Chains A and B, each alone.
Chain A
C-alpha cells in the first residue's frame, strides 16, 4: 500500500520535473485526456478531477459529494462518499489502483477507466459511508430547516439503507448562536469543513474552526464569539446539512412551499444576484444562486456569486429587488418538485371543466381558523410563529 503511494509520488515528480514553469502549464491546459467513466468516454483537459469529468457527463454517473465544493480551494477528500474504483490507471500505466479513490481529489490520466455505479465495491463502500454519516446524525428532518434541500437527505435516499444497525445513544451538542444571523446545530454537522474553507477564503480572519478530534470534533468559535463579517452568511449556503441555518428564516416555512425567484439589486459589496424564496408576495429567504450540484453559480461578472450579509439577511421585501423571473431548479431533490419546470398551462377554463357552473367557495378557512391569517406576514414574525402571534393580531 505504502509502496504504491511513493511509486505514484515518483510519477508525479516526473511530470513536475519535465514540466517546470508556466509555458508547459499552457500546454498541459490545452492537452485533452480521454477518460471512461462507467463505460462513457469523455475528453477533459488535463488536471480535471474524476468528479468534475463525471459531472460533465452528468446524471447518475456523477458521484455524490458532501464535502467537496468546486468553488472552495482545498475542499474535498473528507466525506468519502465520492469514492470510485479506478480499473485502469492510464494508457501508459494500465494497472488498476489498489484502493477506491476519492474522485474529488484524484485527477484524470489519459486513458483512465473509472467505475462508479458499475462497481459493486463502490456501491458497497458508499452504502457504508452513508451509514457512518447517519450514525450520529439526529435525523430530525421534520423540524430541520434544511429538509427538502439537504444533501444528506438526498444521499441517504439514493444510497442508504432503510434502517440503521446503530443501537447506541447518538452524540449530541448544544445549539450555538453564532451572531445575530447564524445558528449552529452541531449535532447535525457531518464535518465537511466547507464552512471553515469559506471563512478562510472569503473573510480576512476566520474565527471559527474545528475543535477536538474524532467523533467529538465540533465546529466552534471556542468561546461563544459571533461571526461578523460581511460575507460570513455564505457558510449557510455551503453547509450541505442543516448545521448552519439562517436565523431570519428558521421555522418560517418549509423550503418546498416557497418558490424560488431570480432577482438582483445594486449592491456595492457583492454581485447582488440572488434567489428569493417567496410565498405569495412575501420574501422568506434570500440565498445565492445555486447550480444543479448545489453549488453557488458564477455571477454575470464571472466570479463566484457569493452574496453579502446585507442582501441575505436585511433585504426581505420584494420591493428591495428587481425580480427577473422564476428560477429553474435543476437539482434532483425535493426543492425541484413543482417549481415551474415543464409547467403546462391548461387550456380549459374552470367554467368548461365544471360544465358551465361558476366555482363556489364552500368555506373560507381564514374566517374560521385562529391561526391561519393571510394578512399576518409570517416572514416578519421574530422567531418561530406561535399561536399568540395570531391572537395578538386579532385583538388589534
Chain B
C-alpha cells in the first residue's frame, strides 16, 4: 500500500548499472524535461509539487530555485549536498549506494532547470567507496549521451563532478560546503549574501540535499500536481527515514508521510517494534540536532492528537512539546538508555565538530560537554542543570550558522523533558553509575492506554 517513488527499483538486480536502470524506465524524466519542458516550466512543476528540502530545514525547493540570481554572463551552479554527517541519518548513503543513477538523473534535470553547466556533488569523506560508484554512474551516463555537450540535441551542456570532503560535519552547512568546495577551510560564511546570489566562486548557487534532487525525477515523471497528492497538507511526496536505535528492523524506509509515528515504530512493515521486548523511552525523530521527545509526547501531541510522520505534525507544539522532521534520522531509545549519557555523547560530538569561528558555539559547546560529563560521571551539582540551560539559551540564535542551534536544541530538550533524570544523577552519584534511571513517568504511551 505504501507509495514508493525513490526506492521502488532500489532492489532490482544490477540497478546500479546504467543498462538495468535504463531498462527499468530510468532517464525517462530527463528525456521528458529536456525535450518538452523549458527550465521555467520545470521550476514551476517543482513549485507545484510542494517538494520541501529533505536536508533538514524543510524549505520549499521550488521557491529556493526561483530565488537564484540570473545576472548576464555569470555562470550558475548547482551543488548537491551529499555531506550527510548528522548522527542517525544515512538515507542519502543508501540512495547513492544502491541507485546512483536516480541522483544523476535528478541532477541533470535540476541543472537544466537552474542553468548550471558545472554541477558538483560534495560528498563526505567517510563515504569512501561511494564516490567511485557515483563516478562510475556519471561515466556511464556520459557515455550514453546524458551528460557532456549538447545533451539530447538541446544545446544544453552539463558536467557533474564529485568532490570529496575531508570529514567535517560543518561542511554540510551550505556556505561551509561552498567554502570547502572552493578549497578553503570549511567555515560557514556570514549571510547575507546568500548562496543564491553569491555562492561558489561568488556565482549564484543552489545547494540541495541528495534526496531532494532525486525527488525531482518522480515529480517530472508524475507531474507536480500528482506528486502533491501524495502525502498530506504541506508535507507532500515521500520521505526517506533512516531508522536506528533499539528497534527490531533498523534501516532506510520510504514513507508517504501519512502514517503515524506509532505505526512507524511498531508496524512490521517499518521498524517492527522495540528490540528485545523492551519499552519505548524516547525518540529523536529527525537526526541528532532536533529535540528529543519522550514517549508520552511522541505518539500524541500535547493537544491529544495523533502524531504523524510529517513536517507539521512532528513540529506540533513548537519546541515545548514537539520536535522536527529534520533530515529523517529516526533514533529510538528504549528503557535501558540513559538520557544524560546520550546528551553528553551528542554534546561531545558538537564540541568536536564546531568550526571555532564564532565565540558562542566555539566556547559554549565545550563548556556544555564538560558539565554534562561531570553530571554523567556522578560529579555534577544541582546548579549545573540550570547552568546548562542558561548556556544553551545563550548559544541558540546567536551564532553564524545553525550548528550553534543544533548543539543547543538537544541539550535544551533533554533538560526540558528529562529534568528529573538529570536531578537523579546529581542526587545519586553512585547509584547512577551502576544502573539506569529507567522509564519513570515517560512510560510507554501504549502501556498507559492499555
Contacts and interface: CB of A to CB of B under 8 A. Distances in A.
B61 to A, nearest CB: 11
Contacts of B185: 209-210
Of A16, A81, A213, which is in contact with the most chain B CB atoms at under 10 Å from its CB?
A213
Given A9-B194, A102-B190, A20 B71 contact: yes
Contacts of A216: 356
B229 to A, nearest CB: 24
Nearest to B405: A1
Interface in B363-406: 363-367, 370, 387, 393-395, 397-400, 402, 405
B398 A129 contact: yes
Given A2-B59, A9-B67, A16-B197, A215 B363 contact: yes
Contacts of B398: 80, 83, 99-100, 125, 128-129
A100 B354 CA distance: 20
B394 A214 contact: no
A30 interface: no
Nearest to A10: B67
B192 interface: yes
B359 interface: yes
B197 A213 contact: no
A5 B71 CA distance: 20
B362 A6 contact: no
A209 B356 CA distance: 13
B170 A166 contact: no
B168 interface: yes
A6 B59 contact: yes
Contact residues of B: prevailing secondary structure: loop
Given A16-B197, A132-B360, A6 B168 contact: no
A213 B169 CA distance: 11
A78 B358 contact: yes
A3 B72 CA distance: 27
Nearest to A215: B366
Contacts of A6: 59, 63-64, 67, 194, 196
Contacts of B366: 135-136, 171, 214-215
A341 B72 CA distance: 56
A79 B363 CA distance: 11
Contacts of A129: 359-360, 394, 398
Contact of A80 (B194, B353, B360): B360
A76 B71 contact: no
A133 B363 contact: yes
Contacts of A124: 394
A1 B400 CA distance: 13
B11 interface: no
A214 B370 CA distance: 14
A80 B67 CA distance: 28
Nearest to B194: A9
Nearest to A212: B356
A5 B191 contact: yes
Interface in B327-362: 351-360, 362
A102 B197 CA distance: 20
B196 A128 contact: no
B193 interface: yes
Contacts of A171: 366
Interface residues of A, number: 48
Contacts, number: 132
B69 interface: yes
B311 to A, nearest CB: 12
Given A78-B400, A132-B394, A165 B387 contact: yes
Contact of A217 (B72, B362, B393): B362
A102 B188 CA distance: 15
Given A214-B355, A215-B356, A16 B363 contact: no
A307 interface: no
B58 to A, nearest CB: 8
A168 interface: yes
Interface string B168-196: 10100000000000000100001111101
A9 B360 contact: no
Given A129-B398, A191-B356, A215-B354, A105 B190 contact: yes
Of B192, B351, B353, which is in contact with the most chain A CB atoms at under 10 Å from its CB?
B192
Given A80-B399, A168-B370, A214 B365 contact: yes
A387 interface: no
B320 interface: no
Nearest to A15: B197
Contact of A135 (B64, B192, B193, B363): B363
Nearest to A107: B192
Nearest to A127: B394
B57 interface: yes
Interface string A365-379: 000000000000000
Contacts of A81: 359
Interface in B43-72: 57-59, 63-64, 67, 69, 71-72
A214 B360 contact: no
A12 interface: yes
A3 B362 CA distance: 25
Contacts of B358: 77-80
Contacts of B397: 99-100
A8 interface: yes
Given A125-B398, A215-B362, A17 B69 contact: yes
Contacts of B192: 8-9, 12
Contacts of A165: 387
Of B352, B354, B358, B387, which is in contact with the most chain A CB atoms at under 10 Å from its CB?
B358
Contacts of B59: 2-3, 6
A36 B88 CA distance: 46
B194 A213 contact: no
Contacts of A3: 59
Contacts of A79: 358-359
A213 B356 contact: yes
A108 B150 CA distance: 45
A13 interface: yes
A78 B196 CA distance: 22
Nearest to B365: A214
Contact of B357 (A17, A78, A132): A78
Contacts of A100: 397-398
Nearest to A190: B359
A12 B194 contact: yes
Interface string A89-107: 0000000000110100100
Interface string A11-34: 011001100100000000000000
A390 to B, nearest CB: 43
Given A132-B363, A132-B394, A165-B387, 9 more contacts: A5-B194, A9-B194, A10-B67, A77-B190, A77-B358, A105-B190, A214-B362, A214-B366, A215-B366
Interface of A: 1-3, 5-6, 8-10, 12-13, 16-17, 20, 76-81, 83, 99-100, 102, 105, 124-125, 128-129, 131-133, 135-136, 165-166, 168, 171, 190-191, 193, 209-210, 212-217
26 contacts: A3-B59, A5-B191, A6-B196, A9-B67, A12-B194, A12-B197, A13-B69, A13-B196, A20-B71, A79-B358, A102-B190, A129-B394, A132-B360, A132-B394, A135-B366, A136-B363, A166-B367, A168-B367, A171-B366, A210-B185, A213-B354, A214-B355, A215-B362, A215-B363, A215-B365, A216-B356
